[in-house]
Amino acid sequence: MPYSNLQIFAAELVGTFILVVLATGSIVYDARAGHGYGLWIAAAGPFLALIVGVYSFGRISLAHFNPAVTMAYYITGHARRAQIPWYVAAELAGALLGSLFVMLVVGIYGGSDDGGTNLGANAPNPDLLPPVIFLFEVLASALLMGVILVVVYKRKLKNFSGVAIGGVVALDILLIGSISGASMNPTRSLAPALLSGATGDLWLYLTAPFVGTATAAALVRLGIGRQQA
């Protein structure tokens, strides 16, 4: 049964909220606890969030929770132009509400240590050149979108969709989190950066994920077109 734009909006808002709370809240918690868990807790947060979000809302909205994924789905024909404002508005609102929750709740539990005051905003490695960091973020985003599209096109994998998508995000974070910050999601980066004022590297996370997901989507669509020709 087709779902209305309002139902899609609600699903994307709640799903993005859960993703941002667990993805950034885990980082804030770790920072305020003395950085005892590192990248492992940073990877575990979005992994669990995406398992919950994909299995709960995938049938309603395809569980984008990410405007770069929404754009890629438009390229592949899985999202209509008229739906895009609903998706993006929900993703922005959910992310901002998620960061606000982290600021008001998770931060309070953590005490007064300064380690978590950026609300889990992504940060690139300052020892690397921006083009290198940009490339890693593009590759991570392309890999994420590639896995998402494999799940979409391979029906036998749909029962494992949440594990597969959450797993590739966690893997990207473990592998390149110390290089680019491994955002792969503009709203996940935008919300904590705006609320904490840590906007210096925001340009990276508002551009590279779109390049990565769009590239993956275009390659998949080109490949399918050639198979049908």
Number of domains composing the chain: 1
CA–CA separation, 141 and 208 (whole Å): 8
For residues 166-170, give the mean pLDDT.
97
Q: What is the pTM of this model?
A: 0.92
Residue 207: which of 129, 144, 149, 137 has the closest Cα?
Answer: 137
Residues in Cβ contact with 198 at an 8 Å cutoff, skipping those fewer than 6 apart: 118, 119, 121, 123, 192
Q: Are 50 and 185 spatial neighbours (Cβ–Cβ below 8 Å)? A: no
Residues 54-106: pLDDT tens digits?
A: 999 999 999 999 999 999 999 999 999 999 999 999 999 999 999 999 999 98
DSSP 110: T
Q: Are 118 and 40 spatial neighbours (Cβ–Cβ below 8 Å)? A: no
Give the domain extent around 73.
5-228
CA–CA separation, 135 and 152 (whole Å): 26
Residues 121-139: pLDDT tens digits?
A: 999 999 999 999 999 999 9
Phi, psi of 136 (to 5 degrees): -65, -40
Residue 183: which of 128, 120, 117 has the closest Cα?
Answer: 120
71: tokens are 């754009």
DSSP 27: H
Which CATH number fits the domain that encloses residue 117?
A: 1.20.1080.10
Is a pLDDT exceeding 80 seen at residue 158? no
For residues 105-124, give the mean pLDDT.
70
